[in-house]
Amino acid sequence: MAAASHDPTTTAAWSALGAHGDAQTPDLRGWFAADPGRAERLTLDVADLHVDLSKNLVTDETLHLLRQLAEQTGVQDRLRAMFAGEHINVTEDRAVLHTALRRPAGLDPLTVDGQDVDADVQAELAKVYAFAEKVRSGEWTGVTGQRIETVVNIGIGGSDLGPVMAYEALQAYVHDGLTCRFVSNIDPTDLDETTKDLDPATTLFIVASKTFGTLETLTNARLARQWLWDGLAVEDADEARRSAVAKHFVAVSTALEKVADFGIDTENAFGFWDWVGGRYSVDSAIGTSLAVAIGPERFAEFLAGFHAVDEHARTTPLERNVPLLMGLLNVWYVNFLGAQTHAVLPYSQYLHRFPAYLQQLTMESNGKSVRWDGEAVTTDTGEVFWGEPGTNGQHAFYQLIHQGTRLIPADFLAFATPQHPLSDGGTDVHALFMANFFAQTKALAFGKTAEEVRAEGTAEDVVQARVFSGNRPTTSIMAPSLTPSVLGQLIALYEHITFTQGAVWGIDSFDQWGVELGKQLALQIAPALTGDAAALESQDSSTKALIDWYLQHRS
């Protein structure tokens, strides 16, 4: 039976926030002018992250009411339950323990459902590290005796988005002579483009699928296996083919029988647990490709970054608890100010996949219309996360954020020290880049009045077109540099932001039943595409007409 949930709209804090929002006229210019200490008071640190919340559309009263909402909806009680291993994923009756993946060795043991979680995690991590060292050192070779030069991760969803995002973000730390590539889409183009210039003799595949049954992943794995056999001209004999697979494929899976049937040595299968959701798994064995690329020492730093933010979220009082406050701000924008989307704008090319990663984390977690007790929600939940690196976005969609009719809260991410400091004719290019970062948040907050536009000598008929209303909310998140630890901190920050929103709304942020129906229907429709007349006739008129068109035009 589902645990009792709550309706946040019945709390006193919700009513007070509604009245407060209706009465408030945002005025960042006025608030800053009247309160010289605003920026200092609303800037907080978590580990290496320096977080400025002062350009958000909140007053001290807003924050007070949001903290009351968190208390009245039991956010911190639910957080404690998560860390303790209680089964807060109620629809699957599971603990939610991604935070255990990054607990350092030597802490008081965490036992959940009779299992020593810490011992399990450390044992699997040691196995991943040992494998990573073999590949990096050249001890692990392909079937021809050549060292591995390219690792191809085959997965989808959390088994792809996390590893590829982190690998791209930490390019500066990748081992010389090694590259990683990633295949996720069942579109054959993805695998073909990924492998077409690779040498099978120096390529290693990591097949990441907990059940070793994910349709897209296993289809791509079989295609990759055939590519390997063809490229190495392996004779059509079971022993020869199995030997090639054993040297060029490993798995991240707990379905050892299926792994063995595929041809992978089960000694080279790395596992994780039911209490790890796919979108929370980059710091588990799902991150094996990253551990190979950056090495065990750097991967340990990555995990330490997560843990630092976990401890901040777990122990810091609510008034200075950065991820919880940021989650509450998101609730404020979604439920009281009508925001429907949230932009994440990293001023770092290395983080170009970070917004896509957050799309799964936030939208799969909180895209729910039913509470964890099975009752319908009574308010909006979730928001659309999106973004691109600055300054690219400035020349694309920032127009809508600055002067459009929609409220779009935006998080700006930046780093003080670049991985590649360059100058252009004596100009520090990173300083120029950062000038854009600072200018954008300032422009969004304070805008430009008609009087200021006229003072520049602008013709009256275009004055209004050049007015910027301001009061466009932003959060600035900065760190000294983009290190493995800082990346772990950023990911954990958004995990706990997402958690906070779900806890307020009373929804289960850790299941994802919404992805199942389309997968089931795809299996039912597939025969209709290959000649099954009955399957075709069973479709609705629109789907049948679309399939008919496809079949007529398929060459």
282 pLDDT exceeds 50? yes
Confidence of residue 473 (pLDDT cuts 50, 70, 90): very high
Angle in degrees, 0-180, between the axes of helices 12-23 and 60-72, rounded to the nearest 10: 160
Percentage of the chain modeled with pLDDT above 70? 99
What pLDDT shows up at residue 3?
57
Displacement of CA 319 from its chain's centroid (Å) = 26
- Active-site pick, 235, 267, 442, 519: 519
Percentage of the chain modeled with pLDDT above 90? 94
- Active-site pick, 139, 257, 395, 460: 395
- Active-site pick, 168, 364, 388, 495: 364
457 pLDDT exceeds 90? yes
pLDDT tens figures, 424-452: 999 999 999 999 999 999 999 999 999 99
With 0-12 CB in 10 A as exposed, 13-18 as middle and 19+ as buried, what is 43?
middle
291 pLDDT exceeds 80? yes
Cis peptide upstream of residue 391 (ω within 30 degrees of 0): yes
Distance, first Cα to last Cα, the chain: 52
Contacts 24+ apart (CB under 8 A), 546-554: none
3-state secondary structure of 506: coil
Q: Catalytic residue at 395?
A: yes
The mean per-residue pLDDT over the stretch 151-180 comes to 97
pLDDT tens figures, 71-98: 999 999 999 999 999 999 999 999 999 9
The mean per-residue pLDDT over the stretch 290-303 comes to 98
The mean per-residue pLDDT over the stretch 293-319 comes to 98
2 pLDDT exceeds 60? no
What pLDDT shows up at residue 16?
98
Confidence of residue 515 (pLDDT cuts 50, 70, 90): confident
Report how far residue 275's alpha carbon sits from residue 267's, in angstroms, rounded to the nearest whole number: 23
1 pLDDT exceeds 50? no
pLDDT tens figures, 105-140: 999 999 999 999 999 999 999 999 999 999 999 999
On average, the pLDDT of the chain sits at 96
